[in-house]
Amino acid sequence: MLMPCALVLTLPVLIAPSAVHAAPGDYKTYVACSNKASGKPSHECKLSQPKAAYFVSTKHDATYKVCVKFPGKKKRLCASAQDAPKGQKKIVTIATANTGTHKVAWYVGGTKVGGWNFKVTAG
């Protein structure tokens, strides 16, 4: 009888991203008033513009989570875990109908690796 060893062989690959030490300098994080890969970092967006959180893991493949604290809300809202292959820009759209300061944070392996505040203004 053959033993299913493929699962055992691939298991380290599946857990490797969370086992990597999360050093803040290993990641580039920002918010842009765009949802395109060419979006430029911004700290102020108009309500009518698209908004997105950008993440790049510069040194290794990673799994990250991004959270947003919306103005006037006590709890933050977090997206489910996202895979980020080394060097690939990942984008998570931020949908909001609120003006005011939004606080965004990125986490890898439970460690905060980035933070960004941006203001949404009318228009």
The string of DSSP letters for 66-123 reads EEEE-TT-SS-EEPPPEEE-TT--EEEE------EEEEEEEEETTEEEEEEEEEEE--
pTM higher than 0.85: no
Specify the pLDDT at position 63.
97
Q: How many domains does the chain have?
A: 1
Specify the pLDDT at position 1.
36
> Which residue in 105, 116, 119 sits closest to 49, CA to CA?
119
Residue 10 within a domain: yes
Residue 57 within a domain: yes
What's the CATH code of the domain at 85? Answer: 2.60.40.1930
Specify the pLDDT at position 65.
97
Residue 112 within a domain: yes
Specify the pLDDT at position 67.
98
Specify the pLDDT at position 25.
80
Q: Which residues of the chain have pLDDT under 50?
A: 1-20
